[in-house]
Amino acid sequence: MRLVVDLNRCQGFAQCVFLAPDVFSLHGNEALLFTPRFDEAQRERVEQAAAACPVQAILVDWSDEPTKGVEAHVG
Interface contacts to ligand SF4, rule CB under 6 A: 5, 10-16, 32, 53, 55, 57-58
Q: How far is Cα 35 from Cα 33, in angstroms, rounded to an integer?
A: 7
The number of angstroms, rounded, from the C-alpha of 18 to the middle of its chain's C-alpha atoms is: 12
Q: Measured from the CB atom, is 15 or 46 closer to ligand SF4?
A: 15
By beta-carbon proximity to ligand SF4, the closer residue of 28 and 66 is 28
**Which residue, 46 or 53, is less far from ligand SF4 as judged by CB?**
53
Q: How far is the CB of 36 from ligand SF4 (least distance, A)?
A: 13
